[in-house]
Amino acid sequence: MRVIAGTAKGRALKAVPGLNTRPTTDKVKEAIFSMIGPYFDGGRALDLFAGTGGLGIESLSRGADHAVFVDLERMSIDAIKQNVQAAGFADRTEIYRNEARRAVAALTKRGIAFRLVFLDPPYRMKEMDSLMVDLAAGGLLEPDAYIVVEHDASHRYPEQTGQFYQLKHAQYGDTAVTIYEYKPQAVLDAPLEES
């Protein structure tokens, strides 16, 4: 595993020991960023089931200002700390060991919003659409934020969930990636300016 593009291109990333994590392959990572980027002009990223931190680190390398990493496993947290250090991004990151919904509740109290959210949970978890609604309810998303859901290819998420509209769905073997854009009602209802 490595950083594919941007300022930390080529930096090797440490895997989490054991078989409990399933790091996003370089091929899938490249596909994700070609769909949503490939480069960013600032903004915050949230890597909610971070594992090795590969997706959040890739977003920093490609121009995101700041990333928050959350994972429940201690070994994942250790790997993320080592990886952000190796990539040179330790000063632009926050790393928390927490369960996803509790982390969302804690972040809500801080009043920060994200432009990019990565949801790559264990494949047995199939309720990322409900978690996206929680993110929106907590004010944690900028208008037009991208939410990237990596999941088992046998599961299909809906075309639309609340104010989330599916932009892309792609399959890579057993892995599927579904990308949503957050379009809050205020944006949809805004009158068009006359030109």
CB 152 within 8 A of CB 174: yes
* pLDDT, tens digit, 9 for 90 and up, residues 150-184: 999 999 999 998 899 999 999 999 999 999 999 98
- pLDDT value at residue 191: 59
Domain membership flag for residue 135: yes
- pLDDT value at residue 19: 55
Tokens coding 97: 């060991």
- pLDDT value at residue 22: 67
Q: Please state, in angstroms and rounded to a whole number, the distance separating the CA atoms of residues 144 and 57.
A: 21
> Dmax of the chain from CA atoms?
58
Q: Please state, in angstroms and rounded to a whole number, the distance separating the CA atoms of residues 80 and 86.
A: 10
Domain membership flag for residue 195: no
Q: Count of domains in the chain?
A: 1
Domain membership flag for residue 33: yes
Tokens coding 105: 């509740």
Residue 153: strand, helix, or coil: coil
Domain membership flag for residue 185: yes
Tens of pLDDT, residue by residue, the chain (195 residues): 889 999 999 999 998 877 566 677 888 899 999 999 888 999 999 999 999 999 999 999 999 999 999 999 999 999 999 999 999 999 999 999 999 999 999 999 998 999 999 999 988 899 999 999 999 999 999 999 999 999 999 999 999 988 999 999 999 999 999 999 999 875 555 555 554
Tokens coding 27: 């091929």
Dihedral angle sign, alpha carbons of residues 193, 143, 115, 44: positive
Which is it for strands 44-47 and 114-119: parallel, antiparallel or unpaired? parallel
Range of the domain at 114: 28-154+171-189
Helices (H), the chain: 26-36, 54-61, 74-87, 100-108, 128-137, 185-189
CB 57 within 8 A of CB 3: yes
Find the CATH number of the domain harbouring 131: 3.40.50.150
The pTM for the full model equals 0.91
Domain membership flag for residue 78: yes
Amino acid 35 reads M
Domain membership flag for residue 166: no
Domain membership flag for residue 147: yes
